[in-house]
Structure 1
Amino acid sequence: MAFHTPPQKQQGHYRYDPTALHPMGPARIFPYTGEDGLLRYLFTRFGHRWLDQGKLSQPWDLLLQQMHRGLKQLDDAWSYLTTQLVDFELFQSGWLNLDLPPDEQFNASFVRERRTMTNALLAAKKASESIGSLEVGRLHFYDALQQHGYDRPETWQIHQREEGLSDREFARQRVAGQNPVMLRQIQPVDQPLLDSLRSQPLQLGNGDAIDLMQAAAQHRLFVTDYPLLQNLSAADLQPGRYVGSPVALFHQSPTGLEPILIQLEPGNIVTPGTNGGPADRWMQAKLFVQVADVTYHELITHLCDTHLAMEAFAIATPRQLPINHPLYRLLRPHFQFLLAINTRGNAVLLSKGAAIDQLMAPTRETSLELINRAYREHSFSDHALPKLIQRQGVGAEFLPDFPYRDDALLLWEAIARYVTRYLQRHYADNVAIQQDPYLQAWAAELGEPLASRPRSEFPQAPFWLPESVLAEMGLQPTQLPNLPRVPGFPAQLSSLQQLIEIATQIIFTCGPQHAAVNFSQFDYMGYTPNAPFAAYCQPGDCTSLKQLLPPKEQDLGQMELTFALSGIRWGKLGSPDLIQFHDVGDRTVLSQFQADLAAIEQEINTRNQHRVAKSGVAYPYLLPSRIPNSINI
């Protein structure tokens, strides 16, 4: 390829959002396409700015607030109407796509799935909202969903069987729950923690005493902790809600993983046999860990590390790669509807008064700050599954029973084979990679410091708009951060193996990784007493579990949200209906990938039979037949 002519029309449609230019945060799409979109943006921002800064007298302030509420209600009604009238193709066509680049909006097939889910959710809400008792309201909610073909949450059944969150189940959720990436082996950096616990008498469930130093030396000591949540002040939390930064210690014994100690705060240590305080103090401690875990899961593991981390790739790929470029054809199907769902998530999760404000402990502003900080904590390649397993010391030689790890590795290896076969067909050697100008431009957009990038990557305002207005609205950033869009991403690609590893990680993140942390949500958080979004008292102040758990409105709201977030499965990983290769050789590679996925399906089904026999619970989230081809919900 001797010439480099980037796809200019696509570069015009896909612009990065300059108002999301937090120095640490992920790159976002500017969801107002065209100059007409800029005018809509300015109108919206001016209104919010006048309200936030108190620039209006009270009558005008009240009027503008009423207008914003009316527009929000109108937008919700329009979304509901277009969902119900999905069979009229006009509603999903480009004629009504005002916010996204062409063909990035949801199609009719997806919206039909959303209609099915929406109708089931509305029926469940109606069945539960008139019931006085929370427990009975929950059952009515689940019964209504079952009538529409949806199962009750797995943890509801587990809690009925085990009379609450047992120690065994608490430990099992570290390796097979909604957030199975937090458990790590005790490492030298944890020595101060071990020293502080040296005098603490600890024992296993069978009564055997534990020597912490010996257990650590034998690679039997594991921990989940949440340092990102440390030092949150009262101003960082919603009034009346709490999330802390607990540390949970686990021991790998011959019978499996079991919890032995929870540090709620420095000096506040609870063990299964702790005396004094409320009778359910150990159960409360486990729930404080669950609150921290679901907070980290929703903000970081799910939202930041899958949805938002992949957005930069979904923007840079059409901006820099022609539609006939081999990497474009490989990656593009795995970005389908990503920009659409992320833009929708801005309203459903991240906007003022949305789910984070209503249900979680951190304020919206604090939540966004946590996301931005977490995004820069690790480089892109640090999130590669093999590196994660090695870094956290959770290989099979240390933890023989780890459903997420074992099933995810099958899929990682299959995707790596698929990507290798495909790219080797199009690149003969490292020189071919180095001399591909489109590929190098793609890497540069993702890996070069933003301060060195052209301003044309952001929206270009009409010439007649005053510069003072553009600056005030954030459309002309005066200084770009000296950081790349993707942390640690190479600004130049030097080898075929490097590209294989990058593409493998992108496809794995958009498919299996997102499936594992998304579709487990209703099973593990749809029964609120298993993992509440927030605690409603602080350690030391809770006199009962009921006081710690959310009130009815937030409990039902958590059920509704987690069902909505995991109630649609559209598309299937590796489907030829979604990956439409034209070249015969490429289609052969895809067929080999499909055969690998079919074999993995059989292997995981066999594993799940053993898991059910051992623990009573399967791990279905990484069955290839249940993994979408892209992040679309």
Structure 2
Amino acid sequence: MSNGREMKGTLVLMTKNVLNFNHNVTKADDISTSKIDMHLLGAAGKEGKKTLLEKHPASSSNLGHGQDSLSVTFKLDKNFKTPEAFFIKNSMEYEFFLVSLTLEGNSNDGTIHFVCNSWIYRAQKERIFFVNKSYLPDKTPAFLIKHRKKELESLRGDGKGTRKEHDRVYDYDVYNDLGNPDSKADLARPVLGGSSAYPYPRRGRTGRKATKRDKNSETPSSDTYIPRDENFGHLKSPDFLTYGIKLLSENVITQFKSSSGLRNEFDKFDDIHKLFENGLLHHLPEDVVRNIKEISPTIGERFLKFPTPDVIRVSKSEWMTDDEFGREMLAGVNPCVIQRLQELPPKSKLDASKYGDQTSTITREHLKNNLGKLTVEEALSANRLFILDHHDAFLPYLKKINELPNRECYATRTILFLKDDGTLKPLAIELSQPNPEGDKFGAHSTVILPAQQGVKGTIWLMAKAYVLVNDSNYHQLVTHWLNTHAIIEPFVIATNRNLSVLHPIHKLLSPHYRGTMNVNGIARQSLFNAGGIIEQSFLPGRYALEMSSAAYKNWVFTDQALPNDLVKRGMAIKDQSRPHGVRLVIKDYPYAVDGLEIWSAIETWVKYYVDVYYTDSDVNNDTELRDWWKEVVEKGHGDLKDKPWWPKLKTREDLYQICSIIIWTASGLHAAVNFGQYPYGGYILNRPTLSTRLIPVEGKAEYDEMVENPEKAYLSTFTPEYETLVHLSVIEILSRHASDEVYLGQRDNPNWIDDKSTKALQAFQKFGNKLKEIEDNIKRRNRDSSLRNRNGPVQMPYTVLLPNNEEGLTFRGIPNSISI
């Protein structure tokens, strides 16, 4: 090689992995350098000679937490051009996680970056990694085209067989892994997806064998396959998050169940406060506490004491006020369901031939006395009446739910009035049950009006709690799980199957997919599985995901854009003179005000980025992009493929819209409906998840108890002790941020894109700066005492859409992706 040259490189490895908690993850010192060979691919397809790794460098700069590095030297022919890719082969018995390769070339080459983030197994064939450049398919250098296509083919697989741990294959399947009929007939569940009866987004295919009792259901497993590069989670947080969910479901809940110290219900509100003051030491026998502590030195200890939820930090009683009840519809954990009331009485969209007339029984007479100087007609025309309507979502399932053990509830409608100070005041609550004479005769409904004292005050408080049971369940099953987690997974799969890592849209979207397939897989194993945590602690029990399937029938992709969603719910009116193209009906609507700023920042960033790479004709000519979108619609969301609202993806405008919706859903929307779960719902009385009986009837013993001891009657009706402990344990985990989380406007690797892409990097910098400006705006609004809904009676600032954050239970921060 006397006429050649050398190129020095640094290979960075990851040495920690929470999802293999008991697994000895490979460190640099463990690497057998003689069994890892590499070679470069340069311009015109010229391949360099194979070389082996060298010793661990004496010092390595810019290494992240849990990272280590090795040196490599490539000897190259003098005519070898700047590398465009490299190949690597692992001949060791064990795998390692490759973070990146950085090459230092001559003055013409500069520093060359390869972002890898992939497991390298012996079972895998020689792997290729591309330089951090972006190429549209028809503008890719000719020598790279075959490698680009081959890599995508390997990620698609052949759709056959059971997937192995080392696979990197992305494919689709229906939700046929929730039940376990071979274990117990009662654990059979319907397949979600692939039918008009139970439509659903697709999940990642695992290919496990069918159950013996049901050939359409897949045998559950504690090791659900996830494409290997998706199965690399939080690095510095091995004591919680996804590992904690598995530990909770497999160990801690078993201890809860076995405890003879748990009662069926709490006796007084103070018993719930003791969960935060004394932890579970107050509730569980010593042997159970000891067993939980032994599960894991730190995790077990965490499950024995709950932090005080924000909603009761300042006051233990303001949660029960009408003001706070109304405020949380605008600034709570589920602020994206409330609608402007546009007709009275409200009507149902349920099939009248099956359910009869489901028109609300709330009348003008019910409302007129609480509107101040306005008439009902004046309040309607002035856009001051609103509705939280859970009637249609719950009514079809109530008969089934009420037949379950310890379950009994209503379908609810709540009418609210916008007061002069900008806050919402509940005016009437309708509680509906299936008609005992048959569904076709409509619902059997009762309207409850506000009262503050005596037995009527107790009934009003209970009526609000039934509304919150509906809302808590709709939030978890639809707003949170379906509309973020489940909806995004098909996009993750389609992107990896169809958009090369060289594709600019892959680089744009992939950070917003980090960890999603992994956490969804764990959710199917431990949260939403038959008999799992959700079925145990939420009202619909075995019908939980079935209810979310019914909601998916009405899902519309384009309505997931925040301005469109607000207009559809009547919470905003189109107005192109406004910065976001809409005018809010309620000026002080924290979720919408903060969310629109985040949405607009995302949309602006996407437009700038897309315009760097595309003209309208480029969009039309992009074969990978066309195949990606076709597969999203026809396979990933195949049960809705014939809906007319899908964008056609013919222009840049289409691409702006599609990418903005994906990013908003995975970041801002998920943050808004996820990280407030414990701050609001950690106090179970504020967000009960199930009810065990209906309002007592006068003349019955339960009614007398309600008169004599309202607190006891209330606690006898809503979430019992065991279900409360299960629920709090879960949402406390779900509401936390990992210490290595990557937030909106950030990337986990500064070299995510070629530094020659000046315009794209400048646009990303502007995006980050805009988010900092938005953060200042949110903090300023939270200090404005005239905005009554920003803090409310509980004095709890609306912080969940503050973009940046740090580790822990912080009630703020927008991660790039749905990673918990």
Normalized against structure 1, the TM-score is what?
Answer: 0.78
8 Å CA contact 1:127–1:137 kept in 2: the answer is no
Amino acid at match of 1:420: K
Measure the CA separation in 1 of the matches of 2:587 and 2:230.
43
Q: Is the 2:275–2:306 Cα contact (8 Å) retained in structure 1?
A: no
Tell me the secondary structure at the aligned position of residue 366 of structure 2: coil
Q: CA RMSD in A?
A: 3.5
1:530 aligns with 2:686: yes
Matched, 1:506 2:662: yes
Q: 1:158 to 1:213 in 2, by over 3 A?
A: farther
Is structure 2 residue 801 aligned with structure 1 residue 622? Answer: yes
2:548 corresponding residue in structure 1: 371
Q: Does 1:246 align with 2:412?
A: yes
Cα pair distance change 1:362/1:198, threshold 3 Å: same
1:188 is displaced (CA, Å) by 3.9
- Cα distance change of structure 1 residues 481 and 331 upon mapping to structure 2, 3 Å threshold: closer
User: How many angstroms does 1:571 deviate by?
Assistant: 2.2
Q: 1:9 matched to which residue of 2? A: 154
Of residues 196, 200, 213, the one that matches 2:377 is 213
Distance 1:430 1:519 in 2: 38
Instruction: Give yes or no for contact 1:294–1:532 (8 Å, CA) kept in 2.
Output: yes
Partner of 1:605: 779
Per the alignment, residue 276 of structure 2 pairs with 142
Alignment partner for residue 425 of structure 2, among 240, 246, 258? 258
> Could you tell me which residue of structure 1 aligns to residue 492 of structure 2?
314
**C-alpha distance in 2, partners of 1:200/1:261?**
7
Matches within 5 A, 1:380-395: 380-395=557-572
Q: CA deviation at 1:553?
A: 0.9
Residues 1:290 and 2:468 aligned together = yes
1:431 corresponds to which residue? 617
Q: Does the 8 A contact of 1:16 with 1:27 survive in 2?
A: no
Q: Is 1:572 equivalent to 2:726 in the alignment?
A: no
Give the aligned partner of residue 228 of structure 1.
393
**Distance 1:113-1:436 versus aligned 2 partners, 3 A rule:** farther
Give the CA deviation at 1:613: 6.8
Superposition map of 1:280-359 within 5 A: 280-359=458-537
**Structure 1 position 421, deviation (Å):** 0.8
**Matched residue of 2:202: which SS?**
coil
Matches of 2:276 and 2:610, distance apart in 1 = 47
Instruction: Check whether the contact 1:317–1:442 (CA below 8 A) recurs between aligned residues.
Output: yes
Structure with the larger helix share: 1
Counterpart of 1:559 (choices 715, 728, 740) is 728
Deviates more, 1:190-199 or 1:327-336: 190-199
Rounded to whole Å, the distance in 1 between the matches of 2:278 and 2:622 is 55
Bigger mean CA deviation after superposition, 393-402 or 587-596: 393-402
Residue aligning to 2:329? 174
What is the number of equivalent residue pairs in this alignment?
548
Deviation string, structure 1 residues 88-127 (Cα, Å, up to 9, x no partner): xxxxxxxxx87111211033516536279949x9899999
User: Which range moved further: 17-26 or 403-412?
Assistant: 17-26
Q: Please report how far the alpha carbon of residue 614 of structure 1 lies from its aligned counterpart in structure 2 after TM superposition.
A: 6.2
| Partner residue in 1 for 2:608 | 421
> Could you tell me which residue of structure 2 aligns to residue 361 of structure 1?
539
Higher mean C-alpha displacement, 129-138 vs 615-624: 129-138
User: Quick one: structure 1 residues 98 and 117, their matched pair in 2 at CA, closer, same or farther if it must change by over 3 Å?
Assistant: closer
The structure-2 alpha-carbon separation of the partners of 1:269 and 1:614, relative to structure 1 and needing over 3 Å to count, comes to closer
- Is this contact kept in 1: 2:385–2:417, CA < 8 A? yes
Q: Distance in 2 between matches of 1:185 and 1:276?
A: 32
CA offsets per residue over residues 256-293 of structure 1, 9 Å max, x none?
A: 21111111125411111499965501001100100010
| Alignment correspondent of 1:594 | 768
What's the counterpart of residue 12 of structure 2?
none
- Report the counterpart of residue 496 of structure 1 in structure 2: 652
CA distance in 2, matches of 1:406, 1:171: 17
The letter of the residue matching 2:366 is: Q
The CA distance in 2 between the partners of 1:487 and 1:158, in whole Å, is: 49
Moved more, 481-490 or 333-342: 481-490
Q: 1:418 to 1:481 in 2, by over 3 A?
A: closer
Contact 2:516 2:819 in 1 (8 A): yes
Supply the distance in 2 between the matched residues of 1:49 and 1:446 (Cα, whole angstroms): 28
| Paired residue secondary structure (1:199) | helix
Q: Distance in 2 between matches of 1:319 and 1:116?
A: 25
User: Alpha-carbon deviation of 1:431?
Assistant: 1.2
Counterpart among 750, 753, 761 of residue 581 in structure 1: 753
269-278 vs 319-328, greater mean Cα deviation: 269-278
Contact 2:262 2:721 in 1 (8 A): no
Q: Aligned residue for 2:116?
A: none
The residue identity in structure 2 corresponding to 1:241 is R
| Inter-CA distance 507–215: structure 2 relative to 1 (3 Å threshold) | same
For structure 2, the residue ranges without an aligned partner over 5 or more in a row are 1-136, 139-144, 158-168, 177-191, 281-300, 348-358, 433-443, 573-582, 704-712, 805-812
Task: Say if 1:145 and 1:513 are closer, same or farther in 2 by CA, change over 3 A.
Answer: farther
CA distance in 2, matches of 1:609, 1:406: 15
**Cα gap change, 1:406 to 1:376, in 2 (>3 Å):** same
Q: Structure 1 295/151 Cα, relative in aligned 2: closer, same or farther at 3 Å? A: same
**Other-structure match for 1:470:** none
Higher RCO by CA contacts (8 Å cutoff, separation 6 or greater): 1
Task: Tell me the percent identity.
Answer: 26
TM-superposition CA deviations, 1:182-221 (whole Å, max 9, x none): 11111148566688502336433xx836532221011111
- Distance in structure 2 (CA, Å) of the matches to 1:373 and 1:381: 19
**Which residue of the partner structure matches residue 441 of structure 1?**
627
Distance 1:499 1:620, change over 3 A: same
Largest Rg, 1 or 2: 2
Paired with 2:595 and 2:559, the residues of 1 have a C-alpha distance of 16
**In 2, Cα distance between equivalents of 1:201 and 1:274:** 17
Amino acid corresponding to residue 577 of structure 1 in structure 2: D
Native 8 Å contact 2:339 2:571 kept in 1: yes
Deviates more, 1:153-162 or 1:501-510: 153-162
Q: Verify the 8 A CA contact 1:241 1:536 in the aligned structure 2.
A: yes
CA contact (8 A) 2:500 2:506 kept: yes
Do the aligned partners of 1:335 and 1:630 also contact (CA within 8 Å) in 2? yes
Contact 1:312–1:486 (8 Å) recurs in 2: no
TM-score, structure 2 length as denominator? 0.61
- 2:754 is aligned with what amino acid? H
CA distance in structure 2 between the partners assigned to 1:110 and 1:419 by the alignment: 31
> Given that residues 791 and 798 in structure 2 are in contact (C-alpha distance below 8 angstroms), is that contact kept between their aligned partners in structure 1?
no
1:199 aligns with 2:365: yes
Helix, strand or coil for the counterpart of 1:14?
coil
Q: Is the 8 A contact 2:324 2:792 kept in 1?
A: no
Preserved contact between residue 155 and residue 496 of structure 2 (Cα < 8 Å): yes
Q: How many angstroms apart in 2 are the aligned matches of 1:361 and 1:243?
A: 8
Distance 1:336 1:318 in 2: 12
Give distance in 2, aligned partners of 1:329 and 1:101. Answer: 18
Distance 2:522 2:597 in 1: 32
Deviation, 1:353, is 1.3
Contact kept, 8 Å, 1:175 with 1:404, in 2: the verdict is yes
Tell me what 1:89 maps to.
Answer: none
Amino acid at match of 1:167: D
